[in-house]
Amino acid sequence: MKIALIEAGHWHAPLYGQALIQSGVTVCAVSDQDPAASERVAQKFGCPSYPSPEALVEKEGPDLLFAFGVHDEMPGLALRLVEIGVPFVMEKPMGLRWKDVLRVAEAVEARGLYAGVDLVSRCYRLMERLAALRAARELGQVNVFYHRLLAGDPLRYAQWGVPWVIQKTRSGGGCLYNFGPHVLDLFMLLTGEPIESVYCLTSTAVHRLEVEEYAAITARTPSGAIGNLEVGYLCPGGGYERAYSVSTTRLLVSTSNPNGGVIQYRDGRTESLGDEAVDWALLYVRETLRRFQNGEAPVATIRDMARALQAVNAAEESSATGQVVRLAESPQLQAKLRGACGPF
């Protein structure tokens, strides 16, 4: 299988490239609008470098593209990839506004193209097990989901050559746009419902940047499930801190390891998921390759991303106004946002 990296100057691209190699796949080529960035990554993987996706596809004929990019440019890039017609998966959030991402989803479906989005948290063992329980009608009704995802100093993005990540006009915001899609998507995945309302508080107290370094989100679904979600750039250096707690009518699980933990069932049973270390890029790459080769739906569809970004946009509005924001969820809109492998 021939796989290429598009807009390979993104800080995640080398991680995915390494995960591809670990999965037995060679990176056939890379492209980036910045020639220096493209050449740097090409040298790392010993492959050709191209100035554009069009030039790369014409010369290399890849089977699948892993695409990245600057947040505000992502919808335009995605539409170019749809026009090229090569299957692809793209880094989140795929844009700054959910309606732009929904237009990409519609273009993908009109073309009949295989395309997904890198909502990698779906691939953690804990989330896969809970999603499987929900599919088997054994999860019960979720009443509370807590997810804390904190990462390192935001100034590292400038050191990595991607200063746009901490520029609001380019990135949309800080941790809310970078990590928010993961936590909001998991809440909807586990509840099987859309988000009805959002309240969000943000802070810039530590680093004093133009983008938020912390966001606390309270989300609610039509059935009354509550999501208490925290994302931030608060860990010193490059550290990470995670915490998960899921309470349902049938079980409770609380853990700091998304690839492990113990599920406590309310009938007295327990189920251990082990304590395996997390390599999120490898988990996602291997699951993406498996699904693509077997003709299965992507880990997450672009409509799934549009739905998550709608909640991110609402959280941003709530932070700015200090008010609870209710998401527009007419039956017609809910149907438009429903993803092929989405929760409802």
3-state secondary structure the chain: CCEEEECCCCCCHHHHHHHHHHCCCCEEEEECCCHHHHHHHHHHHCCCEECCHHHHHHHHCCCEEEECCCHHHHHHHHHHHHHHCCCEEECCCCCCCHHHHHHHHHHHHHHCCCEEECCHHHHCHHHHHHHHHHHCCCCCCEEEEEEEEECCCCCHHHHCCCHHHHCHHHHCCCHHHHCHHHHHHHHHHHHCCCCCEEEEEEECCCCCCCCCCEEEEEEECCCCCEEEEEEECCCCCCCCEEEEEEEECCEEEEECCCCEEEEEECCCCEEEEEECCCCHHHHHHHHHHHHHHHCCCCCCCHHHHHHHHHHHHHHHHHHHHCCCEECCCCHHHHHHHCCCCCCC
Q: Is the model's pLDDT at 107 over the cut of 60?
A: yes
Residues 112-123, mean pLDDT to the nearest whole number: 97
Q: Which domains are delineated in the chain? A: 3-120 (3.40.50.720), 122-278+301-337 (3.30.360.10)
Q: Supply the pLDDT for residue 341.
A: 42
Give the mean pLDDT of 268-282: 91
Please check whether residue 201 is in contact with residue 324, taking contact to mean a CB–CB distance below 8 angstroms. Answer: no
Average pLDDT over every residue of 151-175:
95
pLDDT for 334 equals: 58
Confidence of residue 274 (pLDDT cuts 50, 70, 90): confident
pLDDT at res. 97:
97
C-alpha to C-alpha distances, 94 to 70, 98, 162, 241, 306, nearest whole angstrom: 9, 9, 16, 25, 9
Closest CA to 251 of 275, 270, 223, 227: 270
pLDDT exceeds cutoff 80 at 340: no
Of 22-36, 70-84, 117-131, 320-334, least confident by mean pLDDT is 320-334
Residue 152 above 60 pLDDT?
yes
CB 316, CB 200: distance < 8 Å: yes
Mean pLDDT of 172-183: 97
Give per-residue pLDDT as tens, 311-326. Answer: 999 999 999 999 999 9
For residue 343, is pLDDT > 80?
no
How many degrees, rounded to 5, is the angle at CA 274 between CA 273 and CA 276? 115
* Whether residue 184 has pLDDT greater than 70: yes
The pLDDT assigned to 132 comes to 95
pLDDT value for 337: 62
pTM of the model: 0.94
Q: What is the mean pLDDT of residues 191-214?
A: 96
Tell whether the model's pLDDT for residue 275 goes beyond 90.
Answer: no
Please give the pLDDT value at position 237.
Answer: 86
